[in-house]
Amino acid sequence: MRWTGRIRLLFLTPAVAWVLAFTIFPTLYTVYAAFHTVKTETVTTRAEVPRLDASGNPMLKPDGTPRTKTEVTRATVNTWDFVGLGNFGRVFTDPQVREAARVTAIFVVVSVSIEMGLGLLLAFLFNRSIPGRGVLRTIMILPIFATPVAAGYLFFTIFYEAGGPLGWTGIPWLSNPNWALVSIMIVDIWQWTPFCFLVLLAGLQGVPDDLIEAARLETKSSLRIWTGVVLPLMTPVIVIVLLLRLAEAMKVFDVVASLTVGGPGNATQSVSYLAFRTGLRFFDVGYASALALTLLAVVMAIVTLFFKRVRNVYA
């Protein structure tokens, strides 16, 4: 038993180290930084040091005193000043945050709604016998395996207005603020609709055929069977998919960073990308940490309230 316990601990050690290194420590560091203003300064010092010859010996002047030179050293110094809730106060008064929140809200509502609708429609179509269903289903889920950054660069070449495949349309996909936001939505819909389709199809195939056959004895309307039997049974699956997509879409970053870089102007700058720019471009680490924690709190609150409301309705 003693060796069994040691072996179990040995196998758990990498997982524990991973969680501590890449989850707990960054979270605690972010919380600590959010209550401070981090200032980065470059300190320059000058010192007179003796000149050395090729042998490493000091070089002397004719009067016997050592020759010297001025050596300049630069060091980066970070100073942490405690500001309490000052950074969080800036979050709620910053006009850039309001604009980024508006962009993120539009993106989430439009993208997630279309993804859920298309996913449900495709699940309904693929739940029946059609020629080549297996091949078509495999092709449908291929976008899931593309990383968001790669998808962003792929669609950058597609939307490129001077020579891209869609350049003939004359639509300013990436240079017009409204169309740039639409472009990001298209990429997200292209990549995540297959996820919604796959999970919803699994839920649809889990609906008992006996209930559907019994419903057909009561009515010949496929719409009534769909809305009265199928959808209520699929509600838990729909809720799970919706929660997952909401949480993921609200922190969109990869596609924005690779496709539009938040532009033109701030037309496609999400809250996550604003936090990235604030912390790693302008080096305001404290404010960026407060912004990231605020976004985390908002996502957790929305998901928790939505989940509790749905659970109370269907409990």
The beta-strand segments (E) located in the chain are: 36-50, 68-82
The beta-strand segments (E) located in 84-124 are: none
- Does pLDDT of 102 surpass 80? yes
Write the DSSP symbol of residue 169.
G
**% the chain with pLDDT above 70:** 97
Same domain, 70 and 94: no
Classify the phi-psi angles of 252: left when phi > 0, otherwise alpha if psi is within -120 to 50, otherwise beta: beta
Write the DSSP symbol of residue 283.
-
Same domain, 182 and 106: yes
Domain boundary among 84, 106, 132: 84
Q: What is the pLDDT of residue 4?
A: 65
Nearest to 194 by CA among 143, 127, 258: 143
For 104-123, what is each residue's pLDDT tens digit? 999 999 999 999 999 999 98
Nearest to 187 by CA among 220, 146, 130, 222: 146
And the tokens for 9?
């601990």
R_g of the chain computed on alpha carbons: 29
Side-chain half-sphere of 30: how many Cα atoms within 13 Å?
19
Same domain, 160 and 102: yes
Structural domain for 195, as ranges: 87-314
Spatial distance between the Cα atoms of 252 and 183, rounded to a whole number of angstroms: 14
For 151-164, what is each residue's pLDDT tens digit? 999 999 999 888 88
Same domain, 93 and 233: yes
Count up the domains in the chain and report the number. Answer: 2
Write the DSSP symbol of residue 131.
T
For 38-64, what is each residue's pLDDT tens digit? 887 777 888 877 887 777 777 777 777
Classify the phi-psi angles of 22: left when phi > 0, otherwise alpha if psi is within -120 to 50, otherwise beta: alpha
Q: Give the highest mean pLDDT range of 116-130, 216-230, 251-265.
A: 251-265
Q: What is the pLDDT of residue 1?
A: 46
Same domain, 94 and 37: no
Same domain, 91 and 56: no
